[in-house]
Structure 1
Amino acid sequence: MSTPIQDDVFVEATSALPASAGTSQPPRPASPAPDPDRAVAARTRQFDNARLRQDFADQGAFLYLDDFLAPEVTAQLAQSARDLLVEVNRNYLPGHKQGGSVSRHTIDRLAPFIAQLYRSKELIGWLEQMSGDRLQVSPADDPHAYALYYYTRPGDHIGWHYDTSYYDGRRYTVLLGVIDESSCRLDYELHTRNPDIADQPGSVQIPPGGLVFFDGDKLRHRISPAGENEMRVSLTFEYVTNPNMRPWRRFISNMKDAIAYFGFRQVFRQLMKRSGDTA
Structure 2
Amino acid sequence: MIQGHIDFVSRSRVEGWISSPHWPLRGARVLAFLDETCVGGGVVDLFRQDLADAGVGDGFVGFRIPVALEPWHDTRLLDIRLEGSAFLLKQRRVCLAPRESVGEDRRRQGRDPESLSWMLARGWITQPQHDALRLLSLLGAHTQLLPPALSHLEPRRRCDEVAMIAAGLLEVHLLQPMALEIREDLGFEALAPLREELRETFPAVPPVIGLWATRRGALGVEEGAHQGGPAGASNPIEHGFGDRELLLLNLDTQPSLPRGAGTDRFTAFVPCRPEA
Higher-Rg structure is 2
The two structures have a TM-score, normalised by structure 2, of 0.40
Which structure has the higher relative contact order (CA within 8 Å, separation 6+)? 1
* Structure that is richer in strand per residue: 2
